[in-house]
Amino acid sequence: MSRNVLAIDQGTTGTTVLVLDERLSVLAKVNREFPQIYPRPGWVEHDPEAIWDSTLATIEGALSKAGVRPDSIAGIGITNQRETTTVWRRRDDRPVHNSIVWQCRRTADVCAEMKGKGLEDLFRSKTGLVLDPYFSGTKVRWILDHADGAREAAEAGDLAFGTIDTFLVWRLSGGATHVTDVSNASRTLMMDLNTLQWDDDLLGHLNVPRSVLPEIRSSSEVYGTTKGLDVLPDGIPIAGMAGDQQAALFGQVCFDTGEAKCTYGTGSFMLMNTGKTPVPSERGLLTTVAWQVGDEIDYALEGSAFIAGAAVQWLRDGLGIIGNASEIEALALTVKDNGGVTFVPALAGLGAPHWRPDARGIICGLDRGVTRGHLARAAIEGIALQNADVLTAMEADSGVQLSGLRVDGGAAANNLLMQFQADILNVPIVRPQMLETTALGAGLLAGLATGVWSSKDDARAAWKADRTFTPGMDEETRNAHLARWNSAVERA
């Protein structure tokens, strides 16, 4: 019987499941969206049961579409929206509150309070992160403080915390396994980057009891097996886990120091493999665990821009200048340049390297000659320019000059965006044939743990480029773009 791998990519707006065969071919891909919940301005939640229902439905749909028997699955890999936080009761699996999504800003006051106590340097030195509502630690604290009876239940040992990887493993294993991997744990503000263990000092400042935390494991090993599911037989190994951006770095086979990728989704997420030791950032980037396979640990520098594809959605839904997101490139090509318009897409503040949650989007350089095409082109260029800020900071922190960038995610299909990104960075941009690199990374991690693939060399051999975008912009034009951009960012 053939040995297939099931890769679950649990994302911010929906769940995608791939079935991969031993040649790393995609036998099936099924996606299912679920509702976004906005209780107040700046607050974002998900219903954990909706996430679980979408996971079961996509597993069932992918197996059916692939035409494979469930017992042909050699292993399950999971990748997930990383910082999104769920707390549930151990005795009956029921969540005590909706999941608090990574985008949610409700704990800004908690972060400000901790900064006021002079704790930012402590958290930065131990976790590689900044004190920001983005991360899981303050979200756990908020649920324990605000969900009815949660703090008392936690003290009694009845509550379990997890990012979505942990929640899915718990459910898939019938409540037998409460684990996370090092890449997800490194995004919580609670794990020491050097020991790869939960840190009691950090937990004390966050007021999070150790009893709610999962066990930290590697990114590629058998954590447990399926149990009690209608869509899968008992006993299938759950064998790979990584946060979505680390999984994409793995799926892009960026296994060597200095190799980097950018995922263009709701936001833009850039990671550079920095090798076997964590590299502290002096320029507002995050230091994170990339993955652990066996005894080998790789670290990465990361920079995130909160708004990328979401800027195109805003042009569609907020301004109505396009009817479908896919129309943005054709509209931008109706003009030969941006007409002097600069768009800083800080619609949810500015992420790395600025970390200015108070920043707001700005469109400047408008005159009577500006058309919808100019706005569309400026939006595409704004996505690329904010990425250039991050990648320039990465080069400086790591001491490694970027020689190229691998790209994935939905907006990587936009040729105009990819060409401008190559031009503004002055390095080649390489787009793979398979853009689902996040799920591919999770699948690879699971397949390595279960013997479907023998080594990372199998992944290198299977990875294939679709197109390379070679820079063609002269230095004077590039510098002019960057000068207008920097001026606009200052005003944002």
Rounded Cα distance between 405 and 263, Å, is: 10
| pLDDT confidence of residue 13 | 85
Burial of 377 from C-beta contacts in 10 A (0-12 / 13-18 / 19+): buried
Please work out, in degrees rounded to the nearest 5, the angle formed at the alpha carbon of residue 310 by the alpha carbons of 478 and 280. 65
H/E element, 73: strand 73-80
Structure tokens at 443: 């699948």
Place of tokens 């931008």: 332
Q: At what angle do helices 120-127 and 108-116 cross, to 10 degrees?
A: 110
Nearest to 242 by CA among 234, 250, 252, 233: 250
| pLDDT confidence of residue 388 | 94
Alpha helices, H only, 45-186: 48-66, 108-116, 120-127, 136-146, 150-155, 164-172, 182-185
Give the homologous superfamily in CATH for domain 4-245: ATPase, nucleotide binding domain (3.30.420.40)
Extents of the domains making up the chain: 4-245
Print pLDDT tens along the chain (492 aa): 569 999 999 998 899 999 999 988 899 999 999 999 999 988 999 999 999 999 999 999 999 999 999 989 999 999 999 999 999 999 999 999 999 999 899 999 999 999 999 999 999 999 999 898 989 999 999 999 999 999 999 999 999 999 999 999 999 999 999 999 999 999 999 999 999 999 999 999 999 999 999 999 999 999 999 999 999 999 999 999 999 999 999 999 999 888 999 999 888 999 999 999 899 998 889 999 999 999 999 999 999 888 888 899 999 999 999 998 889 999 999 999 999 999 999 887 887 788 787 889 999 999 999 999 999 999 999 999 999 999 999 999 989 888 899 999 888 999 999 999 999 999 999 999 888 889 999 999 999 999 999 888 888 887 889 999 999 999 999 999 999 999 999 887
Rounded Cα distance between 247 and 485, Å, is: 31
User: Which region holds residue 168: left if phi is over 0, alpha if psi is between -120 and 50, else beta?
Assistant: alpha
